[in-house]
Each structure stands twice: as C-alpha cells, then as structure tokens.
Structure 1
Amino acid sequence: MSTSDGASMRSLSEISEEETLRLSVDLVAAARRNLGFLRLVNESLWLHQTPTILESIRRYDELWMPLISDLSDGSSPPMILPPLDIEWVWYCHTLNPVGYRQYCESRFYTLIGKAAIFNEENEEYALNRCKEIWIQRYPTEPFENEYDDSTLQTSVSTFHEYLLKEVTKQRHLFTKFSEPYYSEIVYLIAARQRYKGFLYMMHRFGDSCSVLVPTSDILLMWITHQSYPTAYTLDTKGLEEEMRKVVGAWEAVKKEDIEDTEKLWDRIFDQPYEKAGGLAIRKAVDVKPPIYWEVTDTDVNAKYSSMLPRFLLEVCLTVKLKPKMKTLSCDASKEFLRLQMVRCHRELKIDRPLSNFTSQRWQKALHLYCEFGTKGMVLEVRQRGGGCIKGSRLRESVTFLWNDLLRAPSLNLAKEIDQKVRVATSITPPVQASYLLKCVPDRVSDDSGAMISDVILKMNQYHPQEGRWLSRTVLDHAGRECFVIRFRVGGGFWRRGAETPSAVKWEDRIIEIREGRWSYVAGSIGRAPEKVVGIAKPKDPPEGWHAHWNLSTGDELSVRWESSRSSSGLSFSLTNQQSTDSMVQCI
C-alpha cells in the first residue's frame, strides 16, 4: 500500500493499539534491563576470547537449551536465568529471529522463549534457582564457565561456527547505546512510541521502500523486542517479509535508503525522522560524541557539598518551510533564523539563512549539547536591514523550554514561526556530565584568610594584617564559587602605608584549598571559607626532580620540567607509601 492510499498525516500519539502491532512485552523495562546487561558484557573482557566463546556456545547448545526446553511449560518459560556467558550467546542467537526459530523447531519442535525478569531481586532469585536445577541435572558440569586449555575443542561443528560469527558480530553492540541518556525512563518511553510508529509505517506502507533504516532509539527497541523470541514472533506474525527489510545494527547502509525512510516517515507523521538521541544508523563504528559522558549510577562527588552537579542534554533542531513560502523572493533572501538561550550565554547567537531550507523535507539546522540550566532556547525569524545597515529586524520568535520538551510525546515539539517556517526541536533527557571548573585570580589575603583591604583593617580596629597569600577562586559551570586556593608567598604586616612584605622560605610556601565561597563583608571584599580540605607542603625535591610537595592525603607529588630544542614538557610523579608509583607526562 502506498501512502497515497492510506490515511492522512497523523501524529505518533494518535495511533491506537488496534492500528499498530500489540506489544506483548514491556519494552521499556526490558530495554533498561538489556542496557545493563550489555554494559556488563562489554566490561567482561574474558567473555570475548574465542576459546571462551566456543566453550560458552557448547554449554548453551548442549546443556542450557535442552534444560530450558524440558522446563518450559507451554507458552510460559520458567523463571530462571542462565550464567552470564550462556545468556550472552542466547541473546546473540535471538537477534537472528529466523535462524533461532529454525533451530528451536528443528531440535525441540517448538520455539523456546525467555522469561521477562526485570527486577534485580527477581534476577538474583532466578539465577540461584537455575544454579540449583543445573547442579542436580549436570553434577559434573560447572555452573560458571571455567574454561582452560584442557577443555579446548579440537573440532567445531558448522552450527557452532555460525553461533561464533553471531556472537563475534555483536561484540561491540553496547557502543551503539553507551550514552547515559539511553537508560532514562522518559527516553525509553519515547523510543517505544517511535518504535510503534515504525511498525505502523512498515505494516501499512512497507511496500513503499525496499529497505528501512532504523534510528538508534528504534534499533534499541527492535533488538530488545527480538531478544524475547516468543513475544516477538507473536507480535510480528504476518510481517515476516516486511521485517526482513529492516537494516540490522552492523549492516551496510546506503544514503538513498536513509533518505527514502525519512521521506516515508515525513509523509505519514509530518515529523522529522532523525531526532536528538535517535540518528539513523549509518556505519559499523559510529562517530564518538564531542563530549565524554561517563556512565555511572551515582554521583562521583560525594564529599564536597559546594560542588553542584552539572546536567547536559542533546538538542536537535530541524527546519521545514511552509509549502507556499517563496524562498527565492527578495525578502526571503534577507531572512534568517537565529538561536539564543533563554538563560545564560546571552552572547551566544547562531544564525542560519532561511534560503538554506526547503519545503520538501525536514532539514537539520543545528545539533547541540546544552546545559539544562539554560532553561531552553529562543528561535527568531529576523530580516536584515533593520534600523542600521548591518542590523536586523525581528519578525517573530518562539520559545522551546526544556521542561516542555520533556513532557512532549517522543521528546519532540514542532512550532510555526511567522506563518512561513516550521521548526521541530527534540532533546534527550538531561543526564549528569563531568564537572566543569575554572580558576580565576582574586585579591591577596592574609594568614587568617581575610583579603588585604582598608575595609578589613577598619573592621579589625586597625590591627595590622599579617602574611601574604595569593588567592584563586574556583568557579563551577554556573559561575558559583566552590573553592578558594591560597598560596603563601610572603610574611610581614600590613597597615596603611608602604609596608613591604618579607619573603618566606620555599618550605614555608604552603598551598591550601578551602571549600566554600568567600564571605563578603563589603562589595568584593571578604574572608575565605573556614573549612580547609587540602594542604600541600613543599619539600626538597628528590634527585632528578625540580619540585616536590607532601600532600595532606598522604601522597607525594614530584614535578620535573624539560625544555630543549627537540622536546619540552612536564613530568609528574604521584606516590604513596601504600601504593606503587604512577607517572603522568604532559608534553
């Protein structure tokens, strides 16, 4: 059926259960569980050695599948989970639904399903229960993979070679979903909605394309669906031929196939196909994001309350002109789209000429990473030649707030500007990112931590201020004061007049870090926070090093600098009596 034969354009949220395929497994909970499983597999390096994989395949084929087949009761699989190595082989096998079904039916005369276990406590129970059954049935076979050279297989069957290829192919599957926002519930709910739209598109209009290229969020839902074979077979009954058109995670993708899928999605839903956190899969190894997001379940900072977490989100902006917009007119050639933040970064202005866009399809205008604290973004349609020659005149503007987008279906909102431009904005859920700190110079302070100033002198009834410390203030990503770093550089007293501070010896040039912000008493004059969280005391450097400090943590830091015509750089050595030396060299 072509799109011209079908219904009119509609949004994803308008599709009813009767019109699309019914999903008999909770894909949100299943995907979240699978992401944790894939991360564990990715970190288990022992699991990816060829001899270990072959032993896992043997255990899967000869031990696990006969066991789970005997325990399966009709359509409900038993609530047990196999060891990690067997589960990994099982998972990879199910990602080839046709091959897995043929294997099960030829050997066990029925399709073997997998229990939907998404709770950690239930997983632990299911694993322990499986271990009990395993020991009773296979008393001479270890429950865990205890491969050694003595069990090396001299010959490998054709089926085991096939499974080896399947497992090896999925070795880096987690890298496609390694960004931390993939595990957020709101993201997975939106991904499930788009996956249902993808199935609807394939079911109603699949003959419009010979190949369908999924986006990363749809791909996640698809392989999660496949990993529960009985549910997948039931849900996609009658769509076997259409499902063969979908490109797998590691298959080669043509640009034309991506464009055809985008056009079909646009005609059906009138929405951009690609979105933030949901780009079309293009090649085997995806480009790494421009920022590093460490996946962690807890905040790495549990010690310093002055450091507030920083949250980032991915933003994708796509533009489509209204059909009656004449892009080649004189006025249109002077019009452009401007992006600004709702809060902070007022100087940020990104312009895109409207002549770059068309009314035929959605085109990506911007792909950004924004801090959640910016609240949102403002999009303006402006026309050059306003009040001054180089100025511009505002025609109309719209605002996209991050909180509104988080509540929107599929994390996507579309708005119209100036009756001629349609703009769709999509985001990923905000996730904690690395801390971003910067150090700025501040006033010289005395031994007590007070800034050298007439104000402090007067407050102390003109009692002289003793000592000289260079001060640096550490600011976080929002410009909040987190720490004060002080370097002792001089002694002596300061009153009103021209007193000259006295120099201090090298071993007395202490560096201290205080947690918190300045306590301001008048304008920019204040006192350093009381809490000292770190001290570095200089010592005579060892032979071959130029500087050495004893840290309050018990570590010792040595620094050596080199400068020559051939090379230059710094070398660092951080040692501790309870650990081995570690070296870091910066060139």
Structure 2
Amino acid sequence: LVQRRRHHNMSPLSVDLLSACSAQRELLRAVHRCPLDLYTPGSKDLRDAIANYKVWLPTLTEGGEGEQGEQGAKPALDVAWVWHLHRLNPRCYRDDCTRALGTVVEVEEPFAFTEEIGGATAGAGEDSRGTTRLEIGFDVEECAARQAQFLWQVRWREYSCSVFVEAAVSRYVQMLQLMRQHPTTFIVPTYDMDLVWHAHMGFPNSYLRDCVEVCGRSIGHDDTANDRTLGSRLDCGTK
C-alpha cells in the first residue's frame, strides 16, 4: 500500500509533493521531446496511447493491491502521459477505477515511466476477451490538447529550486484552506500552485483524504478553465 508521508512536520498533506513536482516536470519534458503526437485530438499516436492505457492500468490491480512494484510495472511514456491526464479529473478517475477495477489505483511514484514509447504496452490491439478494460468518463484527447502548453508555464529555472517549490506547496495549502473558508468562490491558482495541485492529484486516494482534512470536502479540478487572457474567468477569479 502507498504509505502516507507528511510533506514536512507542519504540513497537513500526506505525500511528498516536492519530489512529485520534480517527477511531474520530468514527465512533461519527456512527452514534449518524444517523437509521438500526444497532444492533438484524433492523432493516431494519442489514440493508441489511450487504448494501451485502458488495458495497462488494470494490470496494476492483478496482485490485489494496485501497487507499482518492480520496474516492469512502470508504464511506457505515452501511457504515463494518459494516466497523468486521467488523474487531472480526480472525481472521474475515482469513478472510472471503481467501476472497472473495484479500487482506486494509487502508486508510490505516480509520474514514473519507462523510455519505451509507441505501442510498448502489449495487449491493446489484441483480442482482449477476459481482460479488464478501463473506460474513461471524459474526453481525455481534449485534455491532452489543453495540457500541451503547461510545460511552458513551469519550465523556468526557479521550478528546479527546492526552496521555491516548498513555498509553492505552502501557498497551495493556503489555497485549499481558502476553499474551505469560501466554498462558492472561484479561486485561481498561480502556475506554481497549479504544478503542486497536479502533483497532489497524482496520489488520488491521498488527495481525497487530504482535501477532506484541509477543506472538509473533496475538491474537483476543472482544466477546461485555462484561458488567462484579460477579462477571462481565470483573470477575474480570486488569486
């Protein structure tokens, strides 16, 4: 089972978000560098990755615990990308996993991946009778397109500085506390806080527990609101 870990002594969060932010940025950079088109809705590469993911994720529950064990349990890069996108909709991810697998899959290293790409995950194109196939309850292809630019928002040198990211984690916790105090207010995170938020959602069970502890309720995540131009909902929201 994934062990609960306090970020530091005073934090109410149960996972190491400093390490997770670094690992998430590595995944984003690898997706950007890879030769596959994993951003464009309708592209063969993205659709193959989604098909592979739907077959691969259930294999993590075959041992009964949904753990990421040996090296071979890590997904190929394109599959890891889809997994990341799926978890950015935490409520849908929980519902999809529960419906198909009877459990919500969470692992110790949610952004780990192998260097294999493009069909490295076997089984997606084969006869899948007798194989559990996950279904995703939202348009993950459109999510890929929306997330294509996120790397450019968090590529700066300061994001490699532990002091900067530690401060971002603290600001993220403050955002969660504000959500508790103002449950109907649309609160907009800055990009550094958004990176931490995405990292936190990589641990779906821990994320839910932490949100309930800090906010008193589960917190969804709407990545369709990504327009920060003057006068947009994000621009006018509480920052």
- TM-score band by shorter chain is 0.7 to 0.9
Partner of 1:200: 177
Q: 2:205 matched to 1:239?
A: no
Secondary structure of residue in 1 paired with 2:65:
coil
| Residues 304-453 of structure 1 aligned to structure 2 (within 5 Å) | none
Native 8 Å contact 1:57 1:89 kept in 2: yes
CA distance in 2, matches of 1:178, 1:99: 28
The alpha-carbon deviation at position 33 of structure 1 amounts to 1.3
| 1:53-74 CA distance string (max 9 Å, x none) | 1111111102x11211213527
Whether 2:190 is the aligned partner of 1:215: answer yes
Contact kept in structure 2, 1:211 and 1:247, CA below 8 Å: no
Q: Show the counterpart of 1:164.
A: 141
Indicate if the aligned counterparts of 1:93 and 1:167 stay in contact, CA closer than 8 A: no
Q: Find out whether 1:108 has 2:101 as its counterpart.
A: yes
Q: How does 1:156-305 map to 2 (within 5 A)?
A: 159=136, 162-203=139-180, 205-207=181-183, 209-237=184-212, 238-240=216-218, 243-244=219-220, 248=223, 250-252=225-227, 254=231, 261-262=238-239
Q: Distance in 1 between matches of 2:144 and 2:179?
A: 28
> Aligned to 1:26, which of 8, 11, 16?
16
1:68 aligns with 2:60: yes
CA 1:44–1:59 in structure 2 vs 1: closer, same or farther (change >3 Å)?
same
| Distance of aligned partners of 1:257 and 1:95 in 2 relative to their CA distance in 1, 3 Å threshold | closer
1:332-354, CA deviations, whole angstroms, 9 ceiling, x for partnerless residues? xxxxxxxxxxxxxxxxxxxxxxx
Tell me if structure 2 keeps the 8 A contact 1:71–1:77: no
* 1:35 matched to 2:25: yes
Cα distance in 1 for residues equivalent to 2:237 and 2:137 = 37
1:190 is displaced (CA, Å) by 1.0
1:259 positional shift: 5.8
The residue that corresponds to 1:569 in the other structure is none
Instruction: Name the aligned partner's letter for residue 225 of structure 1.
Output: H
- Give 3-state SS (helix, strand or coil) of 1:100's partner: helix
Which of the pair is proportionally richer in strand? Answer: 1
Q: Give the C-alpha shift of residue 41 in structure 1.
A: 0.9
Shift of 1:166: 2.4
Equivalent-residue separation in structure 2 for 1:232 and 1:73 (angstroms): 18
Q: Indicate whether 1:94 and 2:84 are aligned.
A: no
Contact 1:114 1:229 in 2 (8 A): no
Larger Rg: 1
Aligned to 1:55: 48
**How far 1:144 moved relative to its partner?**
4.4
Q: Work out whether residues 192 and 221 of structure 1, in 8 Å CA contact, stay in contact via their aligned partners in 2.
A: yes
Within 5 A, what are the aligned runs for 1:74-85? 77-78=68-69, 80-85=73-78
Q: Are residues 1:44 and 2:34 paired?
A: yes
CA distance in 1, matches of 2:237, 2:36: 41
* Deviation (angstroms), 1:258: 5.1
Q: CA deviation at 1:221?
A: 0.6
The answer (yes or no) to whether the contact 1:91–1:227 under 8 Å persists in 2 is yes
Structure whose residues are more often helix by fraction? 2
Q: For residue 37 of structure 1, what is the amino acid of its counterpart?
A: L
Structure 2 CA distance, aligned partners of 1:117 and 1:93? 12
Aligned length: 211
Aligned-pair CA distance for 1:193: 1.2
Asked whether the 8 Å contact 1:31–1:220 carries over to 2, the reply is yes
Measured after TM superposition, the shift of residue 52 of structure 1 is 0.9
1:127 and 1:72, CA in 2 relative to 1: closer, same or farther beyond 3 A?
farther
1:288-311: CA deviation from partner (whole Å, max 9, x where unpaired): xxxxxxxxxxxxxxxxxxxxxxxx
Give the distance between the partners of 2:92 and 2:103, measured in 1 at CA. Answer: 13
How far has the Cα of 1:175 moved from its partner?
Answer: 1.4
TM-score, normalised by the number of residues in structure 2: 0.74
Identity percentage over the alignment?
24
- Compared CA separation, residues 234 and 77, structure 1 to 2 (3 A): farther
Q: How far 1:77 sits from its partner (Å)? A: 4.4
- Structure 1 unaligned blocks of 5 or more: 1-15, 129-142, 263-587
- The one-letter amino acid of 2:84's match is Y
Tell me, yes or no, if the aligned pair for 1:69 and 1:112 is still in contact at 8 Å: yes
Residue identity opposite 1:174 in structure 2: L
Q: CA deviation at 1:261?
A: 2.1
Equivalent-residue separation in structure 1 for 2:89 and 2:110 (angstroms)? 21
Q: Quick one: distance in 1 between partners of 2:200 and 2:149?
A: 19
> TM-score, structure 1 length as denominator?
0.32
Between the aligned partners of 1:226 and 1:184, the Cα distance in structure 2 is 21
| Structure 2: runs of 5 or more not aligned | 1-8, 126-133
Question: What is the rounded CA distance, in whole Å, between the counterparts of 2:90 and 2:222 in structure 1?
Answer: 14
**Counterparts in 2 of 1:160 and 1:257: CA distance versus 1, 3 Å:** closer
* 1:502-581 matches, cutoff 5 A: none
- Whether the 8 Å CA contact 1:71–1:78 is kept in 2: the answer is no
